[in-house]
Structure 1
């Protein structure tokens, strides 16, 4: 005889599986209805130098492969030799930080002197502004995903500086069936910067009784770590796992890291964070409701209350979590509009033509 608790568990599992399948079916139908137009074509050979972050690097190299004559991917330590052999029209470097060798800047200077067109795309701004201005001076064109850093690079003599946000790799971040192991009411993925630890410490009583996942490093910083520890998965997870957790969540919280100089940042200029992070696009590409803190340029890409939700205080966040957990249809509608906006405007195939157009226009002048 099946016990009452087992029957209840079976019913809950069935409902959760049905709801997940219904969500996925709606997302896939929406994607199928998006008109597909051939992307613009650029008759150039691009050498791409990745930074080592799979979700960005694969998205950029895949996107370039769809719109240029040839895309070559080389490691930072190979760039000088490879460029002299391959003779690319454009050398595009992603970020130029963390995994790049000490002599990389010298290599880029040599390549510019040899007549190569060079560009760098900073995607960790403004958190490393003690290093990036010096690095920027070794390139013809500088792109930054952070509005506040455009004047910074102009001030050190870079003539071509452009604000350009990142996008999403749609072959990686996409709606899928996550499975029971990835389901949650509320999910947050990221390191425990001080503002994030403070947020979850304040949320702790509210989160009791909910299915919560907090994934990332340094969460031992929490003052209420013991209370929240059942929700925490410490350490890095690969992008393919991140996608599953986003898909399995009813709500994903996005909270940008603080910009003040300190243990976690090298931003002694204390430039503010005005622009959204790549995670904003990645969460929305999974067809899951995102509730994010507000950055100045958010409304350029999404419309709060239509294809994303926002919060300005812990109290507002708690209110919106409670509301959307109880309103499945509305939660799903906003998430699907977010998916549509992302897939029609914010993939790398949408973003990279702007980058190449700006590089090419200046080269031809």
Structure 2
């Protein structure tokens, strides 16, 4: 059985092809090319299609065409016309059959169209369906016509299926909920699936794809899984799979299937362009408690704090490392040089506005506001207006990213400069060569998170950490990963840290950049002290901060909220 949902549609213009006073074809202008509804002998070909429908079959026409096929089919009885391209129907003249008493003309939401076809079939004796496909329409809108055709092809000789009855099952009735997981290749995906397996949670993954939009067939697979697997809720990370127009969340609402979206990056930078967040059956989980108010203002009623954690089956002591990883002090992180350049180019700033970027980044880095928009509203309302007047949403989002990453670049560089007296090993992108003079530091290019870092972290006496300026109150992944595999971490103080670790005994933090040097001197000289702190941190992690703990919390919150 196949189910579909239309996510996008290609734009085009049309013009009639005339023979004297009759429309004999329709020319379609699309993507700089010219297509034809039929080309030559369109009317003859439509008569042939109508004549090929076997007696006793209920004809379902995919695309109205020139209207000739409809006219011929009406000589034998009722006809269902599935047409989502009214511009062609109006141009060809086929639209005149839209109000014919024997014609059921359907368009719009494909799920509803399928249900209406089933109702039409039932009203006409539940006879077998005969699909009549005009090829052009599938080229124009593959998601709509081809997938509807595949669905009806599966059903045409079988007993009618009541789709809504299939998906109207009760949720959260079992001891352990069933999860539909939107998967794409991204940080945290493997950790989530591994944690679900260890918790004994039954789940099914639907691959989203890697592009800006979901892959072709994603929603078709989603709906098939809903019918066959009957999950209690869907789970995604960073709103992956959710389109900006709200079509997917609207579909989930119709299916009465709750959605849990766990944001492990700044949700403001992700949801900036979402026109319809459809919050009714959506729960937002954010790694940063400071985002709770922002998400509530965005319209979400179900917002929960869910910090990061670690996979202790992957990050564990005793894994082998390389000799080149040995160091007293190491720092692993991006210089942000290339990120700043990228966002500067894509922000579309004029020269005057661009000159303000350094001072704004410095000020934003020192302020408590989590978003650039909020910072400008409070401190520079005239610049907020200037930002809002940038040409596109992409320009505005790039400007916010530019300020955030330039603030991070400056802060990170200031911290790393304090490491130089200790001959640090710096692991990251080549932008560090632009920021640091040659001398008393070593460089390695970026390491693989899964294959390298569990063995890398314990090779340093001190793993240094400074948090991105998009995380002003939250702790990052490194605070969990380093102790989990037996390494010692020195990190910057975060407001939310004290709810996760006991400062001074389970975690060592600096409040000011000037404290970095003295703390390094102290802890480099105290092997026993480092081991004691690391052991205490790892014990706390094993007890409270694994991804099994996080997923257990998420599952329970979803049950409490939607069960």
Q: Could you say which TM-score interval applies, normalised by the shorter chain?
A: 0.7 to 0.9
Q: Deviations over 1:224-270 (max 9, x none)?
A: 24235x512233533220111112111111110123xxxxxxxxxxx
Q: Does the aligned pair in 2 maintain the 1:120–1:136 contact within 8 Å?
A: no
The match for 1:60 is: 192
Q: Which is worse superposed, 353-362 or 234-243?
A: 234-243
Q: Counterparts of 1:346 and 1:254 in 2: how far apart (Å)?
A: 18
Q: Which residue of 1 aligns with 2:312?
A: 170
2:324 counterpart SS class: helix
Counterparts of 1:304 and 1:249, CA distance in 2: 21
How many angstroms apart in 1 are the aligned matches of 2:422 and 2:277?
A: 44
1:356 counterpart SS class: helix
CA distance in 1, matches of 2:311, 2:243: 30
Structure 1 unaligned regions, length at least 5: 1-40, 260-271
| Structure 1 residue 217 corresponds to structure 2 residue 429 | yes
Change (3 A) 1:101 1:255: same
In the alignment, the residues of structure 1 paired with residue 276 and residue 190 of structure 2 have an alpha-carbon distance, to the nearest angstrom, of 23
Q: State how 1:146-225 maps to structure 2 within 5 Å.
A: 146-179=288-321, 180-193=323-336, 194=409, 195-204=411-420, 206-208=421-423, 212-217=424-429, 219-220=431-432, 222-225=434-437
Task: Mark the structure with the bigger radius of gyration.
Answer: 2
Describe the superposition over 1:192-238 as per-residue Cα deviations: whole angstroms up to 9, x where unpaired: 2411122213432x124xxx32112253365324235x512233533
CA contact (8 A) 2:245 2:274 kept: no
- Provide the TM-score with structure 1 as the length reference: 0.76
Which of 28, 46, 50 is equivalent to 2:183?
50
- 3-state secondary structure, aligned to 1:44: coil
What is the CA-CA distance between 1:305 and the residue it aligns to?
1.2
| Matches of 2:509 and 2:270, distance apart in 1 | 28
TM-score of the two chains, using structure 2 as the length reference: 0.50
Shift of 1:101: 8.0
1:96-111 equivalence runs, <5 A: 96=239, 105-111=246-252
Contact 2:259 2:282 in 1 (8 A): yes
**CA distance in 1 between partners of 2:267 and 2:205 (Å):** 26
Q: Residue 194 of structure 2: SS of its match in structure 1?
A: helix
Q: Deviations over 1:321-357 (max 9, x none)?
A: 1111111111111111111111111001112111111
Contact 1:47/1:90, CA 8 A, preserved across alignment = yes
How far did 1:311 drift?
Answer: 0.7
2:4 is aligned to none
Contact 2:234 2:259 in 1 (8 A): yes
Alpha-carbon distance, 1:298 to partner: 0.1
SS in 2 for 1:169: coil
Counterpart position of 1:292: 491
Cα 1:333–1:91 change in 2 (3 A) is same
Match of 2:116 in 1: none
Distance 2:295 2:251 in 1: 21
Kindly tell me: are residues 143 and 51 of structure 1, through their superposed partners in 2, closer, same or farther at Cα, counting changes over 3 Å?
farther
Report if aligned partners of 1:48, 1:91 keep a CA contact under 8 Å in 2: yes
In 2, Cα distance between the equivalents of 1:234 and 1:188? Answer: 12
Match of 2:465 in 1: 254
Structure 2, unmatched stretches of 5+, are 1-173, 209-213, 337-408
Residue in 1 that maps onto 2:479: 280
Distance 1:313 1:145, change over 3 A: same
The more displaced of 69-78 and 166-175 is: 69-78
Shift of 1:67: 2.5
Change (3 A) 1:197 1:295: same
Return closer, same or farther for 1:236/1:81 CA change in 2, 3 Å cut-off: farther
The verdict on how the C-alpha distance between 1:126 and 1:232 changes in structure 2, with shifts beyond 3 A counting, is farther
Task: Count residues in correspondence.
Answer: 304
Counterpart check, 1:318 vs 2:517: yes
